[in-house]
Amino acid sequence: MIFYSTTKTSAPVSLKKATLEGLAPDGGLYVPSTMPHFSREEIDLLQSGSFKNIAFAIAKKFAGDEIPLDALSRLVEECFTFETPLHQLDTDTYVEELFHGPTLAFKDYGARFLARLTGFFAALDRRMITVLVATSGDTGSAVAYGFHGIPDTRVILLYPSGKVSRLQEQQLTTAGDNVFALEVKGDFDDCQRLVKQAFVDDSLRQKLTLTSANSINISRLIPQSFYYAWASLQLADRHPGHLPLFSVPSGNYGNLTAGVMAKMMGFPIGHFIAASNANDSVTRYLEEGRFEPKQTVRTLTTAMDVGNPSNFSRLLHFYNGNFRSMGQDITGIAVSDEETVETIRSVYQQYHYIMDPHTAVGYRALEQYRRQHPGKASPGVVLSTAHPVKFDDAIMKAIDRAVPLPKAMETIMNKPKTATMIGNRYEELARFLSGLDR
């Protein structure tokens, strides 16, 4: 499989190079030169397969001959040691729970796969890989625990000071060993900008082998396509003749991009809802055809507080820059904080089911889409991206009930925080990275 940059000025690369570089030298994001495709016969064979069977089948098409099949099979087995349940709320509405991994967030799927893939390639080259990550919360913790203890790798996490939940911060700052946390005086866009500057800093790249574990890394997106494929095949059995509609809580748009990739591969998916909060630049693009990023707005759904989403360039690439073409597959719907809290409350009252705020945004957007498109009989799937305990303040506000802390998290909450505070100027990040042991 060959990958090239969305800006099309860098040379095409292998999966190994795309994984270890993260960002292309020209500043673009890597995309497959040709999207792998599953025939109707292949889809039928996977219909009754396990999650791991489906994951392996997709990974094999992207890896080609770069990874021996036995090694790739072991990698998949090690990654997905947890369930991916479809929780049914009513006849046509499901919640795909993506928070059963070690850090209680959907980012575990991508981070664990990427960590082991990076470790495999690093071992081949016998070199230290420095993983540089900007996070608004869940990416960082998933990467921290995904890469923790992986030989020949170290992780530098940048997160916005005061803009992640306490549980998220504890996960970010307590892994230790080969994981380092940088608390940035700024917002997520500042963190993301600093990471991008590091990747185009030639003097730094001469000293360190840098890669990224953000969704700008194509090997983070590939495994996120697995759970769309899995859910679509599960629902094909339950709702024959109807293609599912996925409502995706969206901030940096990597999750949605992975879903689009699954649809392009041939899995039975009907349509997507890009469910946003007040940071609605993509929603406005889908309505008006103009992409106008704006300053990040702070909301209850902090992981979606992204004013200028990186993965939008991949979506533009897949749809040849045509917003009408994109709109045939994706509908953008923005949800306010007030609507988010009300949705948590109403879903709990109706179904006795507790949603985190991001999942509530996805559910509210699905409801709105159905009101706008009456008569479309499609099963709806809301992607639940985080365990509600991560946002206990919002849950308490909505239903006046605390979410019990899972036992696995109790130990993390009692660990001392270890983080280095830096400003939002690139010189401070460059100085920290230059001081790392070679």
Q: How far apart are CA 66 and CA 249, in angstroms?
A: 33
Position 311 in a domain: yes
- Interatomic CA distance for residues 115 and 234, integer angstroms: 28
- Examine residue 39 and state whether it is found in any structural domain, yes or no: no
Catalytic residue status for 185:
no
Q: Is residue 212 part of a domain?
A: no
Q: What local confidence, expressed as pLDDT, does residue 210 receive?
A: 87
* Structural domain for 283, as ranges: 83-104+219-399
**Within a domain: residue 134?**
no
* Number of independent structural domains in the chain: 1
Q: Of 16, 17, 52, 107, which is the active-site residue?
A: 107
As a whole number of angstroms, the distance between CA 90 and CA 101 comes to 25
Residues 355 and 388: beta-carbon distance below 8 Å: yes
Token digits of residue 95: 């919640």
Which pLDDT score is estimated for 381? 98
- What is the rounded end-to-end Cα distance, in angstroms, of the chain? 31
Structure tokens, 437: 């042991």
Q: Indicate whether 241 belongs to any domain.
A: yes
Give dist(CA 198, CA 378) in Å, integer: 44
pLDDT in tens, the chain (438 residues): 999 999 989 899 999 999 988 888 888 999 999 999 999 999 999 998 999 999 999 999 999 999 999 999 999 999 999 999 999 999 999 999 999 998 899 999 999 999 999 999 988 988 899 999 888 777 788 888 899 989 889 999 999 999 887 888 998 999 889 999 999 999 888 998 999 899 889 899 888 988 878 778 999 999 999 999 999 999 999 999 999 999 999 998 999 999 999 999 999 999 999 999 999 999 999 999 999 998 889 899 988 988 899 899 999 999 999 999 999 999 999 999 999 999 999 999 999 999 999 999 999 999 999 999 987 768 999 999 999 988 888 899 999 988 888 887 888 888 999 999 999 999 999 999 998 865
Measured between alpha carbons, how far is 19 from 399 in angstroms, rounded to an integer? 43
Domain membership of residue 165 (yes or no) is: no
Any domain includes 330: yes
> CA-CA distances (angstroms) from residue 225 to 106, 310, 393?
12, 18, 31
Q: Do the domain assignments include residue 266?
A: yes
pLDDT at 127: 86
Q: What's residue 437's pLDDT? A: 65
How much is the pLDDT for 230?
98
**Count of residues for the chain?**
438
Q: What is the DSSP string of 255-272?
A: HHHHHHHHHHTT----EE
Tokens of 175: 């892994």
Q: 241: domain CATH number?
A: 3.40.50.1100
